[in-house]
Amino acid sequence: MTTTEQATGTPPIAEGRAHTALVTPQSDAAALHGVKRRVSLLDRPYALAGPLILVMAIFFVGPLILTIIVSFWEYTQYSIEPAMVVTNYVDVFDRCIARLPTLCVTFATYLSTLKFCFIVWAITLILGFTLAWFIVFEVKKTSTQIALFLLCTIPFWTSNVIRMMAWIPLLGRNGLVNQTLMSMGLISEPQEWLLYSDFAVILAFIHLYTMFMMVPIVNSMMRIDREILEAARDAGASIWTIAMSVVAPLCRPGIVIGSIFVITIVMGDYITVGVMGGQQIASVGKTIQVQMQYLQFPIAAANAVVLLGAVLMIIFAMTKLVDVRREL
């Protein structure tokens, strides 16, 4: 019985809007001055952010700190010892500087990953921008806009790996593409570069991640007043000028966010490079994964920290450099 009494004593939030809201003990003092005030959760913004802070602390900040700690530990083939040594980092860059201009394994791996990263970023940016333009400015009806947008999300109903696998029967030696091209007489023998190649990796990345670029750009573009484009047209600007000096600068937040998504995903990827590259192409993520498989956690952690640093540097440089506003 006591519990029910207590329950009825606490006003539901919706009721609190009425002027006759019940006075909680905390606001007794206020009530004395003739002001009735109800303390709600909304008066404590940190309480609302609490659950997210907790989740982030447990699943993001904690593991990150652990990774950094482990990266300083010692390991041998059969043991891992807590320590405070920088051997792992030295090993990551083993004789890398000394042997320049010959690239050490780490530098070569980073170069390959950065190459994928740049190509994929450039292509997804162009695709994302033009697709966003189409949906936002060319499609006039809001219902059609939403329908097209949802259509873009359908591929996300299946997993990344399955979407990658779907390319294999298409691009393989006896795949659909090769067969079609051969039956059309365009090629005389199957093309080997279609699958298990840089081309295949880049294709899969673009297929998987263009949406991550497009969605934030759509979001920025939606905020642009159509009259601004008309004003630019009225001034005599061509579609290219409008895109480069009006729309792109105004989409800058979306472009930066989309780029961060794509760059972080591609830099850390090992599955796409593995599946589409036929396990033959090196990537930083793949190096870390292999070291994890051999239970060499400290060196894997050191590699992860270096990768994190590299990605953060790219993003920092990008937010500083990719200022598409050109001085007039």
Partner 1 sequence: MHEAELELIGVAKRYGDTVAVRGVDLKIPAGAYCCLLGPSGCGKTTTLRMIAGHEVASAGDVVLGGRNVTGLPPAERGTAMMFQSYALFPHMSVVDNVAFALRVRGLKKRQRREEAMQRLELVEMTKYAIRRPAELSGGQQQRVALARALVTNPKVLLLDEPLSALDPALRLRMRAELKRLQHELGITFIHVTHSQDEALALSDLVVLMKDGHIEQSGTAREVFDTPKTAFVARFIGAHNVLTEAGRELSLRADKLDLVAPGAGRRTATVTSVEYQGHYVLVRLSGEDDLSAMVDETAMRAFPVHEGDTVGLAWDDGDVVPLGKPEADEGLKAA
Q: How far is the CB of 112 from partner 1 (least distance, A)?
A: 37
> CA-CA distances (angstroms) from residue 213 to 18, 64, 210, 314, 320?
46, 26, 5, 17, 19
Q: CA triplet 205, 210, 211: central angle to 5 degrees?
A: 130
Q: How far is the CB of 121 from partner 1 (least distance, A)?
A: 23
Answer whether 242's CB lies under 8 Å from 229's CB.
Answer: yes
> CA-CA distances (angstroms) from residue 56 to 45, 51, 122, 170?
17, 9, 31, 41
Answer whether 263's CB lies under 8 Å from 117's CB.
Answer: yes
Which residue, 83 or 235, has its beta carbon nearer to partner 1?
Answer: 235
Q: How far is the CB of 149 from partner 1 (least distance, A)?
A: 24
Which residue, 18 or 235, has its beta carbon nearer to partner 1?
Answer: 235
DSSP assignment letter at 207: H
DSSP readout, 135-152?
A: IIII---HHHHHHHHHHH
Q: How far is the CB of 252 from partner 1 (least distance, A)?
A: 8
d(CA 259, CA 254): 8
Which residue, 5 or 327, has its beta carbon nearer to partner 1?
Answer: 327
Which residue, 117 or 242, has its beta carbon nearer to partner 1?
Answer: 242
Q: How far is the CB of 217 from partner 1 (least distance, A)?
A: 16
Q: How far is the CB of 142 from partner 1 (least distance, A)?
A: 16
Which residue, 37 or 252, has its beta carbon nearer to partner 1?
Answer: 252
**Residues engaged in binding partner 1 (CB under 8 A):** 225, 227-228, 230-238, 241, 246, 249-250, 325, 328
Which residue, 41 or 328, has its beta carbon nearer to partner 1?
Answer: 328
Q: Which residues pair with 80 in a beta bridge?
A: 75
Indicate the SS3 state at residue 269. coil
Answer whether 313's CB lies under 8 Å from 267's CB.
Answer: no
